[in-house]
Amino acid sequence: MEITEEKKELLLSLNPLEIIDKNCEGTLISLEEHLGMPINIEVHRQNTTKEHQNFKTSSHMSRIIVELKTIGMHYRTINSASHVENLDYGLKLLLQDLTNAYSKGLLTKEQYFGTRKLISEYILDELLDDIKKDFLIGYQDIPQYDMIFLLYEFCYRSPVHQGVYNLKGNDIRRTVLGRVELSTMNKYQDYKFNIDNIENQLLDAITNFTYNVKDIHNIIFEQKEVLYRLSLLNEVYFNFEHFLSVMIKIFRMTDESIEKRRITKKQQYLARVFTELDIKHTIDFRLISKEIEKRCIESSSKYLSLLEQDDKQTINLVDIFLKIVDMRNSLHSNGQANKDVDTFDIGHIHFNKVEKDKQFSSMAMHQLVILLLISSYSMELIIEKLSTLTNINGIDYNEPHKSNHLKQLFYSK
């Protein structure tokens, strides 16, 4: 239908509540023409006005909600979307109309986002409150981005990046921690953006997908949080694995012709490198705890308190790395553990016992971050030891070892 200048001028003069009103009125008229009969709207106000809402607007929105339910009831059948709730489908149609009008210049930016804000505050307010309370919020109500920032800051202030070993930017001994830095900073920024943009994400999903709003909540927010954790685990783990495999290859730390020097599984990488470089497998966690306290000066005090350790606590660095490997391997079996893992603690963080073929329960962000941090520390020990050696297995160790990833980037330009 062609929009006249007069009608366009009228639309541009409406406030958000009037825009929704006019849209529902027009949709109901079209629906009546389609059905060939009038539609009666009966409103029995049941919802109460909340603190953030205006009473007059809330009363008006009560009628609009009934109208949206009526519109949704008819059009979900007409459009073969009977699996969607009446209100949810009516809201979808409203948001589609608003988006279409905005794209055609029939609504100003202020009108468009003002109308969406009205929908958030008077129709989706309870759902949004639930999302904001839970989305990307972890153990003891600590935001997950705060936990990720601690891992970022730990690597950012590493001696490797402070010029202690005089490593060039493309040296794999430097990039192994640089990649953790980059991954965690990207995740940190993405988490913050997603939290700040919750309302728009929900409204866009309702507009673009034909789901019940509760299903959208699960898909967009609950599942996204799971994917974020898996992404962080994958990125950092493969980075460590790549570094260890390069060290093993360069310094011939394996020999297929000698049984005791064979490596049959990637799980053996860290143990082999530690053994070849004469690095102890165990360490008092207090040393790492003090290093965390020294480096992570801008991180969450609440999360830092969980990592404090005053009494001696011996941990096995290789075992910690194997915990990460077990977590990562469980991704291939829908979160099921490949073997039994005994219960243990790091600082004040508890890791539940895991049974083979059962769900891996210790993969929350507060647990994952400390494991990745300890393994980052293990990589630092390797780099520190390499800085003291000139010959390993008969191989002179003088030249920097460039990251293959950066070589490929250079040659692709």
pLDDT digits (tens, 9 = 90+) for 341-356: 788 999 999 998 888 8
- The DSSP output letter for 143 is B
Residue 156 lies in a domain: yes
Rg of the chain, C-alpha, whole Å = 29
pLDDT for residue 164: 86
CA distance 188 to 202: 21
Question: Which of 96, 123, 150 is where one domain is finished?
Answer: 123
- Is 323 found in the same domain as 260? yes
Look at the chain and report how many structural domains it folds into. 2
Tell me the residue range of the domain where 376 lies.
139-412
* Domain end call among 123, 158, 192: 123
Average of per-residue pLDDT across 111-117? 96
pLDDT in tens, 357-376: 877 777 899 999 999 999 99
Q: Are residues 396 and 333 in the same domain?
A: yes
Task: Please count the helices (runs of H) and the strands (runs of E) in the chain.
Answer: 17, 6
Mark whether 320 and 354 lie in a shared domain.
yes
pLDDT for residue 139 is more than 80: yes
Do 279 and 212 share a domain, yes or no?
Answer: yes
> How confident is residue 400, by pLDDT bands cut at 50, 70 and 90?
low
Sign of CA dihedral 77, 78, 84, 87: negative
* Statement to judge: residues 323 and 368 lie in one domain: yes
- Is the predicted pLDDT of residue 410 greater than 50, yes or no? no
pLDDT 10s digits, 294-316:
999 999 999 999 999 989 999 99
Residue 263 lies in a domain: yes
Tell me, yes or no, whether 106 and 157 share the same domain: no
> What is the mean pLDDT of the segment spanning 407-412?
46
Residue 47 reports pLDDT greater than 70: no
Q: Are residues 350 and 235 in the same domain?
A: yes
Residue 260 included in any domain: yes
Q: Which residue type occupies 394?
A: G
Model confidence at 259: pLDDT above 70: no
- Do 143 and 104 share a structural domain? no
Separation of alpha carbons 29 and 39, rounded Å: 9
Residues whose CB falls within 8 Å of the CB of residue 149, separated by 6 or more in sequence, listed in order: 184, 188, 298, 299, 300
User: Do 113 and 210 belong to one domain?
Assistant: no
pLDDT value of residue 403:
64
Structure tokens at 59: 């009363």
Tell me, yes or no, whether 186 lies in a domain.
yes
Q: What is the mean pLDDT of residues 4-11?
A: 80
Say what percent of the chain tops pLDDT 70. Answer: 92
Q: Is 191 contained in some domain?
A: yes
Using 50, 70 and 90 to split pLDDT, how confident is the model at 281? very high
Residue 165: φ, ψ to 5°: -105, 5
**Within-domain flag for 128:** no
197-226 confidence digits (pLDDT tens): 999 999 999 999 999 999 998 888 888 888
Q: State the average pLDDT over residues 71-86.
A: 94
The verdict on residue 273 lying in a domain is yes
Per-chain mean pLDDT for the chain: 89
Q: Residue 8: what pLDDT?
A: 80
For 205-222, give one letter per residue: b (16+ CB within 10 A) or e. bbbeebbebebbbeebbe
Residues 113 and 201 in one domain: no
Chain-centroid distance, C-alpha 145:
9
Instruction: Residue 266: name the closest of 249, 281, 251, 244 by CA.
Output: 244
More confident call, 48 vs 112: 112
Backbone φ and ψ for 147, nearest 5 degrees, come out as -65, -45
**pLDDT exceeds 90 at position 84:** yes
Are 160 and 167 contacting, i.e. CB atoms less than 8 angstroms apart? yes
- What pLDDT shows up at residue 265? 84
Q: Is the pLDDT of residue 176 over 80?
A: yes
Same-domain pairing of 200 and 347: yes
Does residue 294 fall inside a structural domain? yes
Same domain, 85 and 199: no
Percent of the chain residues past pLDDT 90, beyond the cut: 62
Domain boundary among 93, 123, 153: 123
State the pLDDT at residue 55.
87
Most confident of 52-56, 169-173, 232-236: 232-236
